[in-house]
Amino acid sequence: MFKKKQEEPFKLTKPLNHIAFIMDGNGRWAKKRMLPRSLGHKAGVRNVKKIIDLCFKKYGIRTCSLFVFSTENWNRPAEEIAYLFQLLKIFFRDNIDEFLEDGTKILVSGDLTDPRIPKDVIKTIKEAEDDTKGCTNYSFNVLFNYGGRREIASACKKIAGEVKEGRINLESIDEKFVQSYLYQPELSDVDLLVRTSGELRISNCLLYELAYAEMEFPGVYWPDFSESDLIDCLKEYQNRNRRYGGLKNE
């Protein structure tokens, strides 16, 4: 009898420096199983480390961004918001040693001056950033109290202040200059955005950084997003022809 040929393990052969995830569908995952939404969020958080480890350690992607709490999420019930904040604290507490061991720098992007954010959450965030600031292998960018429009507005306000004080002139402002005033100017633009749950929108996520990103919208809910789903997204990315407005590779 002929043996079935074993499929070769997937290898990413096209440069992919920065992948971003909108981890959508936690609540619907729970509803489908007749569980409270909180358990959906808990299941979603459990999946985070597994997916970013695959990106970093197996597929060689240096930067992962994860949209965990938006500026619009304050419209949710107070109990759900409080639970999400606790999950964030637990996630950092349980994984910080491994992040340090792997050389993963933690970055948190968003408006951390918002007085609605509990002080203990801010303390946890600052400690995670401080503890890993010397790490250089990978960057894990957590979008927390984040809005793409707010990020751009914040950059404009800072630049306007510089102009007003006479420290810069209008002629020096270009796209790269604006980028230097974003939350994480040292990170490269997003190459691939993945939003789970099948929703076909970017929901105010990394508006400036997504200018030339490829996008994938798998129908699976985030808690069920697996390595095979990730590979499907990476394969699709690898088959795209990124021309950046030109005629490259046509």
CA–CA gap between residue 81 and residue 110 (Å, rounded) = 16
Q: What does residue 144 show for φ and ψ, rounded to 5 degrees?
A: -130, 130
73 is catalytic: yes
- Side-chain-side CA neighbours of 183 within 13 Å: the count stands at 26
131 is catalytic: no
List 17, 73, 102, 232, catalytic entry:
73
Active site residues: 24, 73
